[in-house]
Chain A
């Protein structure tokens, strides 16, 4: 094994072009487990910790460019306002020790269906900024996950950052596990209201071969909210509407039975999380709408 230690991003891209099999390591919370357990013996291990800009984020007018290695602990502490869904998801990652090391770049690189960041990124409509010596491209999150632990990266590419629009409405994230810390999600659900475009986006984790959106559920809800004038009148979401949304979210799953849960349980739980997160976000939207109108 060779240990590559690029000092700059340009050096890292050059090294990845020269050794496309090199395994990038940042927080190490996935890669080191595989090495410790002899599941992986990469020819080249490439340390990205020396590249400062990967640990930084830039807030632009309407979006955040989040460096691939910004640790979850920073996201949950510093980006709650801009990226509430991702901040909530970050808080559910493993433990303080892991959150201090791991970041979204690693979650995307591993592309496990159980990665905690994915549902939040799907719901927010993020873009993944990837780069190689050939140039930079932005991959819409919807096109990023291509299979179980597979993603749209070319062999010579590295993840530089994630670009996420600042929240224009309430966002929520919920996860099912046996305790509040140190769990791989049995299933997870992210939901974001986008009042500016009058749309709702979702993300489901751990309940299909890849993280997925519940598209049919989104279309149904978008149409129902529009038709009922909900965005303007701030009406309460009726139980039947919430139930139908939940059923469509459950139907978007394609889960398996495994040690953490059965397929049937996962489908059911995703429905429950969908209903809850919809209620939480919508109540928050109604609350803020009332406040901004100054109604007594």
Chain B
């Protein structure tokens, strides 16, 4: 069957989709978006977390056909998504200072290098919250959604929001640091 839906703001179509296929499989194998990770395939690990009509879900548990006509945001679209959200809350555009500091520079060919990150992605890097990186995309999507709902999360709020995401490097303390950092920067409007 054919499935048509919006991914990261762009209309997408996937053909020859098997009826029992998951949204995760369609994203990774048919649309070339391997950011959402395939690990447990049973909703235990959260590494496939995406936003489905804004709601964080495990994409391995959404039948591809259920995504028909819906809007999906994956980790690949997170920076753009966060930027648009900032715009609707009035914090967008380029500051005078930023404009003055701007210089033309090339981006190298490595994927992701030189592109803009969402605040939560930057906080993960700054706090050293990325080890092997496999759980990171799911954590980023879940953490970003929590920060959207809750601008001043307590540690308990963070733990609960991320309770469906497993990190087997067990680097949870740095992950907590990263989310706290993102929350602090968000409330300071940095």
Contacts and interface: CB of A to CB of B under 8 A. Distances in A.
B176 interface: no
A97 B165 CA distance: 9
B65 A5 contact: yes
A35 B160 CA distance: 28
B18 A97 contact: no
Contacts of B161: 96
A47 interface: yes
Interface in B12-49: 18-20, 22, 41-44, 46, 49
Interface residues of B, number: 29
Interface in B47-68: 49, 55-58, 60-63, 65-66, 68
Given A33-B42, A36-B42, A96 B63 contact: no
Contacts of A28: 61-63, 66
B41 A97 contact: no
A95 interface: yes
Contact of B163 (A3, A35, A100, A181): A181
Interface residues of chain A: helix, strand, loop or mixed (majority): loop
Contact of A37 (B1, B42, B66): B42
B142 interface: yes
A47 B19 CA distance: 11
Contacts of A49: 66
B153 interface: no
B164 interface: yes
B142 A33 contact: no
A27 interface: yes
Contacts of B62: 28, 32, 101
B75 to A, nearest CB: 14
B63 A98 contact: no
Most B Cβ at <10 Å: residue of A5, A42, A95: A95
Contacts of A98: 43, 58, 61, 164
A264 to B, nearest CB: 27
Interface of A: 1-3, 5, 25, 27-29, 31-33, 35-37, 41-42, 45, 47, 49, 94-98, 100-101, 180-182
Interface of B: 1, 18-20, 22, 41-44, 46, 49, 55-58, 60-63, 65-66, 68, 142, 160-161, 163-166
8 contacts: A47-B66, A95-B43, A97-B43, A97-B46, A97-B58, A97-B164, A100-B56, A182-B166
Lowest 5 CB-CB distances: which A-B pairs, in order? A95-B164, A181-B163, A1-B19, A3-B19, A36-B41
